[in-house]
């Protein structure tokens, strides 16, 4: 395939840029995506949990997970400080929970809750894990990659566990009316 020379416009020639942007968003929203809660800490007193849809396994050996986090998010600050995160898979029936984690959370260290939801500190990294998660992984960041207004944190899985029956269906973006990205 020949390579075009010079800058390529971000939209097809002759297309209305706004209309094309709306089309791209609709197409990108069609891509299947999980819906997770990512836990973060500075390995001191600060903790957070955030709804996240950009997560994928990026390597089999070693086992690495990539998560995309907006650079101005509090979660980004905590992951950068600690070099670790947890990724919690949520029961499909608990879909309302993800709306509770779209902004920095109310942390009660004494009660061990995030926005009223019980959490445990991940045994490998200290990143908070929602106690009602179906399963979770804890990752140590091996490589952060700046991409646009996000950072792709590439983390090696250092711990994984089920907290519910392995057959429990997990939440996906299409199970909600939420959309992020595009």
pLDDT score recorded for residue 31? 78
Q: What is the pLDDT of residues 82-138, one digit of tens each?
A: 999 999 999 999 988 989 999 889 999 999 999 999 999 999 999 999 999 999 999
Identify the residue whose tokens are 């792709």.
Answer: 152
Q: Residue 21 has which token pair?
A: 């942007």
**Rounded distance between C-alpha atoms, residue 132 and residue 117, angstroms:** 8
Report residue 169's pLDDT band, with 50, 70 and 90 as the boundaries. Answer: very high
pLDDT mean across residues, the chain? 91
Strand partners, 155: 65, 141
Which domains, from first to last, does the chain contain? 33-175 (2.30.110.10)
Q: What is the pLDDT of residues 40-60, one digit of tens each?
A: 999 999 999 999 999 999 999
Average pLDDT of the residues in 172-181:
77
* Side-chain-facing half-sphere of 49: CA atoms under 13 Å: 33
Whether 30 has a pLDDT exceeding 90, the answer reads no
Least confident segment among 1-10, 60-69, 122-131: 1-10
pLDDT score recorded for residue 6? 47
| Neighbour count for residue 50 (Cβ, 10 Å) | 26
Report residue 9's pLDDT band, with 50, 70 and 90 as the boundaries. Answer: low
Least confident segment among 5-9, 27-31, 76-80, 106-110: 5-9
Task: Tell me the whole-structure pTM to 2 decimals.
Answer: 0.87
């Amino acid at each position: 395939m020949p390579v075009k020379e010079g800058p390529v416009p971000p939209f097809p020639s002759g297309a209305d840029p706004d209309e094309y942007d709306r089309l791209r968003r609709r197409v990108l929203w069609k891509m299947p995506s999980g819906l997770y809660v990512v836990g973060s800490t500075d390995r001191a007193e600060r903790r957070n949990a955030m709804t996240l849809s950009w997560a994928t396994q990026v390597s089999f050996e070693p086992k690495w997970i990539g998560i995309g986090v907006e650079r101005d998010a509090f979660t980004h600050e905590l992951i950068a400080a600690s070099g670790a995160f947890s990724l919690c898979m949520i029961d499909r029936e608990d879909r309302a929970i993800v709306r509770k984690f779209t902004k920095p959370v109310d942390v009660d260290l004494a009660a061990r809750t995030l926005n009223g939801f019980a959490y445990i500190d991940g045994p490998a990294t200290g990143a908070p894990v929602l106690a009602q998660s179906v399963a979770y992984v804890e990752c140590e960041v091996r490589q952060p990659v700046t991409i646009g207004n996000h950072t792709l944190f590439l983390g090696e899985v250092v711990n994984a566990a089920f907290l519910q029956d392995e057959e429990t269906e997990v939440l996906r973006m299409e199970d909600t009316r939420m959309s992020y990205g595009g």
